[in-house]
């Protein structure tokens, strides 16, 4: 049985497009029309994106899309869409160019298709190879009702965290003092400040990310205040104490910054922590957090990373002084 989202027929096209942009649709199954409703097949374990909340989610046998099984393509099957840019994941592809052309033909807003050859270095920038279309890595992207200028070649950005950013913003209270330790082009900070009247110190060591963050702050209506700061978080954070919340979105190496974050947090303050872990690694982290006086309030998988690894999101509360 496959999870499907049941949507009224007249809203189906719009919802399908939005869910495809979020890479939430299971393309191996057909979209099914049933009476006044349309059933959209969802990827397994995918958390329901915000735009789909309020709609009915149900189990259905599903109708395999036979066009796909007749002509199998050796492809990891996934690509991200950021505005007018599609980024294909590395996999066993028979013909990346053919696939890129298919993406451009089926999605009229896509102007460039790149192959992602990996996220590298301190700035976590993507090594991209143009496969089809315009050789431009700049685009405009919409998420949670906000607009972002993104240059996928010079600063990190992932649309897969859209729901996560919304959940964190929703759980934030007015008046919080927050550090966004690895803020990138600012999506966590801007989403929070668009919903809550907070004071946010947004750090990043990549000058291109800080420039885009400033542009993105100016482009959106926000109620809170955001103070972008260029430099190494592990030093800058030492100037701040008694913070209410610290966002640690550096999934490859967040753990090496945890002591610094802990020292800057007030008792009762929260850390939104992201890390790539396997099951054993997760157990070890839980133990370490307990020993430090960090209590786990929530934990979820943001998305899979490889066969045994997942990107985890955890909310931790400082219980000790
Ligand atoms: N939070 C952002 C988002 O949701 O798009 C971006 C997260 S990205 C995974 C990590 C960011 O941390 C990159 O923009 C990188 O430049 C920055 N970074 C890495 N090490 C850093 C450090 N020591 N101090 C400040 N920023 C750092």
pLDDT: which is higher, 189 or 121: 189
The tens digit of pLDDT for each residue in 43-98 reads 866 677 778 888 888 888 778 776 654 344 344 457 899 999 999 987 656 678 88
Please choose, from the candidates 34, 318, 12, 301, the residue with its C-alpha nearest in 3D space to the C-alpha of residue 167: 301
Please state whether 83 falls in left (phi above 0), alpha (psi between -120 and 50) or beta: left
Q: Is it the case that residue 28 has pLDDT exceeding 80?
A: no
Does the beta carbon of 164 sit less than 6 angstroms from any atom of ligand 1? no
Does the beta carbon of 79 sit less than 6 angstroms from any atom of ligand 1? no
Would you state the pLDDT for residue 67?
60
Residue 268 burial (C-beta neighbours within 10 Å; 0-12, 13-18, 19+): exposed
What is the rounded average pLDDT of the residues 33-44? 84
Would you state the pLDDT for residue 46?
60
Please check whether residue 267 is in contact with residue 321, taking contact to mean a CB–CB distance below 8 angstroms: yes
Does the beta carbon of 12 sit less than 6 angstroms from any atom of ligand 1? no
What is the rounded average pLDDT of the residues 281-286? 95
Measured from the Cβ of residue 71, the count of other Cβ atoms closer than 10 Å reads: 7
Q: Which residues contact 153 (CB under 8 A, 6 or more apart)?
A: 125, 126, 128, 137, 138
Does the beta carbon of 240 sit less than 6 angstroms from any atom of ligand 1? no
Min mean pLDDT across 32-36, 125-129, 255-259, 261-265 is at 32-36
How far apart CA 294 and CA 255 sit, in angstroms, is 13
Would you state the pLDDT for residue 73?
39
The tens digit of pLDDT for each residue in 1-19 reads 788 888 888 888 888 888 8
- Calculate the dihedral angle through the C-alpha atoms of 95, 97, 102, 108, rounding to the nearest 10 degrees: 160
For residue 75, what are its two tokens? 């492809």
Residue 158 CA: which ligand 1 atom is closest?
5
Q: Which CATH number fits domain 158-318: 3.40.50.150, 3.30.565.10, 3.30.420.40, 1.10.357.10?
A: 3.40.50.150
CA of 174 to the centre of ligand 1 (A): 25
Would you state the pLDDT for residue 52?
83
Please choose, from the candidates 203, 210, 179, the residue with its C-alpha nearest in 3D space to the C-alpha of residue 192: 179
Average pLDDT over the chain, rounded to whole?
90
Instruction: For the chain, state the CA radius of gyration.
Output: 20
Residue 10 burial (C-beta neighbours within 10 Å; 0-12, 13-18, 19+): exposed
Does the beta carbon of 114 sit less than 6 angstroms from any atom of ligand 1? no
Measured from the Cβ of residue 221, the count of other Cβ atoms closer than 10 Å reads: 8
pTM for the model: 0.77
Does the beta carbon of 187 sit less than 6 angstroms from any atom of ligand 1? yes
Class of domain 2-65: alpha beta
pLDDT: which is higher, 62 or 284: 284
How far apart CA 144 and CA 49 sit, in angstroms, is 10
The tens digit of pLDDT for each residue in 104-161 reads 988 889 999 999 988 888 999 999 999 999 999 999 999 999 999 999 999 999 999 9
How far apart CA 22 and CA 253 sit, in angstroms, is 25
Q: What CATH architecture is 70-136?
A: 2-Layer Sandwich (3.30)
Please state whether 109 falls in left (phi above 0), alpha (psi between -120 and 50) or beta: alpha
Q: For the chain, which residues make up each domain, given as ranges?
A: 2-65, 70-136, 158-318
């Amino acid at each position: 049985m496959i999870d499907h989202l049941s949507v009224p027929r007249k809203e189906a096209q719009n919802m399908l497009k939005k869910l495809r942009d979020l890479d939430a649709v299971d393309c191996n199954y057909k979209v099914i029309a049933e009476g006044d409703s349309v059933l959209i097949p969802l990827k397994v374990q995918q958390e329901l994106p915000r735009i789909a909340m309020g709609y009915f989610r149900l189990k259905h046998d599903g109708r395999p899309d036979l066009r796909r099984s007749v002509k199998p393509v050796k492809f990891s099957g996934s690509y991200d869409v950021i505005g007018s840019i599609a980024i294909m994941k590395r996999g066993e592809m028979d013909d990346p160019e053919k696939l890129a052309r298919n993406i451009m033909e089926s999605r009229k807003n896509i102007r460039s298709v790149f192959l992602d050859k990996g996220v590298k270095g301190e700035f976590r920038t993507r090594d991209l190879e143009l496969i089809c279309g315009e050789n431009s890595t700049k685009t405009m992207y919409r998420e949670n009702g906000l607009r972002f200028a993104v240059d996928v070649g010079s600063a990190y950005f992932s649309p897969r965290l859209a729901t996560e950013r919304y959940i964190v913003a929703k759980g934030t209270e007015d008046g919080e003092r927050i550090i966004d330790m690895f803020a990138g082009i600012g999506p966590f900070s801007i989403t929070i400040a668009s919903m809550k009247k907070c004071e946010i110190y947004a750090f990043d060591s990549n000058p291109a990310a800080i420039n885009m963050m400033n542009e993105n702050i100016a482009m959106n209506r926000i109620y809170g205040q955001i103070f972008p700061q260029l430099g190494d978080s592990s030093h800058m954070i030492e100037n701040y104490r008694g913070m209410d919340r610290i966002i640690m979105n550096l999934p490859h190496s967040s753990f090496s910054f945890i002591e610094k974050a802990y020292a800057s947090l007030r008792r009762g303050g929260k850390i939104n922590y992201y890390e790539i872990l396997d099951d054993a690694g997760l157990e070890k982290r839980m133990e370490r957090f307990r020993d430090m006086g960090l209590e786990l309030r929530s934990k979820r998988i943001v998305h899979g990373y490889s066969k045994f690894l997942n990107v985890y999101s955890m909310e931790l509360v400082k219980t000790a002084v």
